[in-house]
Amino acid sequence: MENILKKITDYKWELPKGYKPGMRVPAYFYISRKLMNILEKDAVEQAANVATMPGIQKASLVMPDVHVGYGFPIGGVAAFDLDNGVVSPGGVGFDINCGVRLLRSNLKVDEVKSRIKELIDALFVAVPSGVGSEGRLKVTDKELDEIFVEGARWAIENGYGNEEDLKHCEENGALEGGRGDVVSKKARNRGKPQLGTLGSGNHFLEVQYVDKIFDDEAAKIMGLNEGMVTVMIHCGSRGLGHQVCSDFLEVLDRAVKKYKISLPDRQLACAPLNSKEGRDYFAGMAASANYAWCNRQIITHWVRETFEKIFKMSSDDLDMRLIYDVAHNIAKFEEHKIDGKKIKVCVHRKGATRAFGPNSKEIPEDYRKIGQPVLIPGSMGTPSYVLVGTQKAMEETFGSTCHGSGRVLSRAAAKRKLRGNVVKESLAKQGIYVKATHGALLAEEAPQAYKMSDDVVDVVHRAGISKLVARLLPLGVAKG
């Protein structure tokens, strides 16, 4: 790829504006030479395609966990101005507000290691997982409409958690603009039984411990210290979000023709931000994002209940506080400085994390000194990381960074190459207990199917768009 991409620094490379006809801006890849060796040519083409879209600002941006997605590459970030720009489901993805939250505790690794099988088995029962899995909670259409607006707050008000949790959620757990009237009956029917469930694929519930601190001050402010047991929850909007995306791809495919938008790839279907189709998609996307925040909040409550049952202590006594919750697949209206002026743009992050720097008013007061917490999950059995956003991210990437490891093998290829029982045995030898709905899933989600999380976070840290705080190692994982 070095014959295509132009080096700016060891960790930032440019795809020039002239690479493809119609590119309005260049594309910038935050990547190392090591990761460039496995960079897919199709992902480069997708980044160039995004650069042709109406109203795009500054650049089409690509994070080091990049791989080919639907329309936009996964790991893609793009911002569009409100007058001439567009909104695109391909820039958000099918799993709307797939995201991660991290809970701390005052338990130490040695207290939990001996009981990890008992704990993961109990969590596996408490939090249903798998394709089409249904939860213990069934909601009505009226309640769904409330969730579409209130997000995590609905869960808090119905007894699932506490007010403090909201303060440590991106957008306080609810994106403004969610509306139920644009969500189809089919999407609603998929969403009604699935609150409080993990789903399948790369979603997980992981019991971890803090293995290493890189930034003492930031770790102290977050309440992290070495040897502490943490819980990471990775899931999204389930079947509801997937259906909302599918429904609106049809609507926006028609809108492309209606508004005479020229696109190099039909998968980039979009509509002007100020059109009815654009506004309706945003409302349905926000509703799905709010459903996802509510979902993670309910799971959090059941995780705390499970810890109480196993360790015979209240979650308050266990000090199971939420450190933060971030979205990975979302579009949001934000103010950013472009050509020396602050303007409002619609930032699409698809497989990317918001990483606002210190003193940003959008992040909780207790974190403003250090910047927004960034949570980067590893693939199954590999390290996860806590970082913070930086001023450089605000200047270069619309306050964005990577979101995870990024696949190197498709699910089908992983299943051909690997066996679930072998993966499970290998993890067990490392002291990691895994519970999954079926063996094929363990093959699909094996560490070998992903880039190393260490390599990905090393890039964003060295590029300066986020800063390492702590490394977390797995003790046990519940998978869908």
**Active site (catalytic) residues:** 403
Strand partners, 235: 99
Answer for the pair 102, 231: CB distance below 8 angstroms, yes or no.
yes
Query: What's the CA dihedral at 120, 382, 354, 247 to 10 degrees?
Result: -70
3-state secondary structure of 87: strand
> What is the chain's length?
480
Report how far residue 224's alpha carbon sits from residue 105's, in angstroms, rounded to the nearest whole number.
9
Instruction: Give residue 281's Cα distance to chain centre.
Output: 20
DSSP secondary structure letter of residue 263: -
Alpha helices in 386-463 (DSSP H): 391-396, 411-417, 420-429, 439-444, 453-463
Residue 290 to residue 267: CA distance in whole angstroms: 25
Q: Would you list the DSSP string of 233-297? A: EEE--HHHHHHHHHHHHHHHHHHHHHTT---S-GGG--EETTSHHHHHHHHHHHHHHHHHHHHHH
State which amino acid sits at residue 151: G
